[in-house]
Amino acid sequence: MRITFWGAARKVTGSMFLLELESDFRILIDCGMDMDSEGEDMPVYPGSVFPFEASMINVVILTHAHLDHTGKVPNLIREGFEGPIFCTAPTTDLAEILLYDAASINKSKLNKYHKRKGQSPGYKPNFNLEEIFQEKHVKQALSQVKSLAVNKTYKLTKSINLKMISTGHLLGAANVFLEIEENNEKKSILFSGDIGRQNYPLLKDPETPPQADYVICETTYGGKYHQSLVDTEEELLSFIQKSCIEKPGKLIIPAFSIGRTQAILYTINKLFREKRLPDIPVYADSPMAMKSNRVYEAFSNHFNEESTTFKKKYGELFYGNNFDYIEQLGESKKISTKQGPCIIVSSSGMLEGGRIQHHIRMNLQNPDTTILMVGFTPEGTFGHKLRNAPGVIEMGKKNVPINATILNTDAFSGHGDHDDLLRFIHSQKKENTKGVFLVHGEETSMDNFKEALIEDGYQNVVTPSKGESFTL
């Protein structure tokens, strides 16, 4: 069989790996949106956004719901993929929220495009029109999904077994373990997906995967380390005390609605319930966060012991007497200007779009406000600019002084660090591992991690380029 790395090759986004068996059976593992494809000359199949013919794929397997792993599935459907899509049950529900949201962003992009095009026929959009999928493609994709349980072996065909192994990171996230028989020989391949952390709020720790012949491993935090999550809770407590009690003022936390927001709301709720904080109002201001809360609550069997005990004791994970979930946009704007100490958790985490924008605009010049950046903010995003702004920032073509305090932490990251990645690899005996392919990382992280694996004695550690194929 042959594996081709069509995404997340020497970079972080756009996970997509194609396995082609000698029988011509084709399995696509992840089908992610590339958030950073600028300047890349991707070979594509004629009339397609993929480098292969979508209708020739037999099966898609998704490791988890994040768009850099699922965001091109509707395109695959649009281009004629008719086969089943396998993923865990929580991944199905979270991907539904994310893909419909992406379709609605596409819709407004398309409306703007048609308006501009009407005004000046030569207008060229700054996005690829062929990648703009619609709600109907998401609906069709969801109808092809077959939800799987974790830790159970499924027979995809007479000669292919599939098992999903829970890996923390995000509700439903899993390693994909495939056993394939070809020419009377059995070979196994393990795809890490995104590896989670030990003691992450709500989620169980990553489980130990079975031994495989070949491993495809992410390297986002290769060579980098997080502070412990016990310290994270203490750090958040001290941020809240400083911003809302000592000052006292507003604490604004921009957070991605799915995963990160649940981890933060749960941790804040815990601090209140354990009487470590007085009852400061908390505003959860993102309709998508409410939908994600419901998915999290529906799959409480995926929770760790601590949050299960918490739920039994207090009844609620994400709700308390001082918690307010904001549905209407008007209400959201009102809390921006409200006086007095409070905590606002809103999206988007990168400060690109979403309700967080008016909270920042209304409070950036207020010295009583603190903005706590908890997510990854790629270069070029407003979040990145704010993190690095020298006391003044350009907003709507005006230079706005920053009087609010800006704090940073990556402690709520759902990605495992160097030690978590090593823990994953060490589940594989080096003498039984025929090859390790490193993906989903910046070059320096990948090189750092590769060096560590070679030092540990792993053979054939490769960092494939986009489009590179290997015979397994």
Binding region for Zn ion (CB under 5 A) out of 38-46, 125-133, 192-200, 247-255? 192-200
Q: Where are the beta strands (DSSP E) in 327-459?
A: 342-346, 370-373, 392-395, 398-401, 405-408, 435-439
Binding region for Zn ion (CB under 5 A) out of 193-201, 212-220, 324-332, 343-351? 193-201
Binding region for Zn ion (CB under 5 A) out of 7-15, 194-202, 361-369, 372-380? 194-202
Tokens of 30: 């992840």
* 364-393 residues near Zn ion, rule: CB under 5 A: none
**Which parts of 4-83 fold into alpha helices (H)?**
67-70, 73-78
Smallest gap from Cβ 212 to Zn ion, in A, equals 21
* 107-136 residues near Zn ion, rule: CB under 5 A: none
Helix, coil or strand: residue 223: coil
Distance CA(377)–CA(357), nearest Å, equals: 15
Categorise residue 259: left if φ over 0, alpha if ψ from -120 to 50, beta otherwise.
Answer: left
Q: Which residue has the tokens 């203490």?
A: 234
Size of the residue set binding Zn ion (CB under 5 A)? 2
Q: Are 362 and 349 in contact (CB under 8 A)?
A: no
Pick the closer one to Zn ion by CB: 58 or 167: 167
Pick the closer one to Zn ion by CB: 20 or 194: 194
Smallest gap from Cβ 253 to Zn ion, in A, equals 20
Pick the closer one to Zn ion by CB: 66 or 260: 66
Smallest gap from Cβ 153 to Zn ion, in A, equals 24
28 phi and psi angles, rounded to 5 deg? -105, 120
Distance CA(108)–CA(135), nearest Å, equals: 12
Binding region for Zn ion (CB under 5 A) out of 8-16, 191-199, 215-223, 343-351? 191-199
Smallest gap from Cβ 35 to Zn ion, in A, equals 12
Pick the closer one to Zn ion by CB: 194 or 285: 194
Pick the closer one to Zn ion by CB: 66 or 270: 66
Pick the closer one to Zn ion by CB: 66 or 450: 66
Distance CA(35)–CA(38), nearest Å, equals: 9
Pick the closer one to Zn ion by CB: 95 or 372: 95
Sketch the per residue contact string, 28 through 67, with Zn ion: x for CB under 5 A, - otherwise: --------------------------------------x-
Tokens of 419: 């030690």
Distance CA(333)–CA(285), nearest Å, equals: 10
* 63-92 residues near Zn ion, rule: CB under 5 A: 66
Alpha carbon distances (Å) from 41 to 38, 326, 362, 467? 9, 43, 41, 11
Smallest gap from Cβ 154 to Zn ion, in A, equals 23
Smallest gap from Cβ 103 to Zn ion, in A, equals 20
Interaction of residue 224 with Zn ion, rule CB under 5 A: no
Smallest gap from Cβ 340 to Zn ion, in A, equals 36
DSSP string, 348-370: -TTSSSSTHHHHHHHHTT-TT-E
Q: Are 355 and 285 in contact (CB under 8 A)?
A: yes
Q: What is the DSSP letter of 203?
A: B
Tokens of 128: 């690829």
Smallest gap from Cβ 218 to Zn ion, in A, equals 9
Pick the closer one to Zn ion by CB: 79 or 194: 194
Q: What is the DSSP letter of 227?
A: P
Distance CA(90)–CA(301), nearest Å, equals: 11
Smallest gap from Cβ 440 to Zn ion, in A, equals 9
Smallest gap from Cβ 170 to Zn ion, in A, equals 6
Smallest gap from Cβ 100 to Zn ion, in A, equals 18
Distance CA(133)–CA(75), nearest Å, equals: 6
Q: Are 251 and 239 in contact (CB under 8 A)?
A: yes
How would you label 143-163 residue by residue, b for 16+ Cβ within 10 Å and e otherwise? ebbeebebeeeeebeeebbbb
Pick the closer one to Zn ion by CB: 376 or 470: 376
Distance CA(176)–CA(92), nearest Å, equals: 15
Binding region for Zn ion (CB under 5 A) out of 186-194, 228-236, 373-381, 451-459? 186-194
Q: Are 182 and 1 in contact (CB under 8 A)?
A: yes
Binding region for Zn ion (CB under 5 A) out of 155-163, 188-196, 276-284, 451-459? 188-196
Pick the closer one to Zn ion by CB: 261 or 332: 261
Pick the closer one to Zn ion by CB: 62 or 386: 62
Task: Kindly tell me which residue out of 34, 194, 218, 285 binds Zn ion, with binding defined by CB under 5 A.
Answer: 194
Pick the closer one to Zn ion by CB: 30 or 179: 30
Smallest gap from Cβ 278 to Zn ion, in A, equals 35
Binding site for Zn ion (CB under 5 A): 66, 194
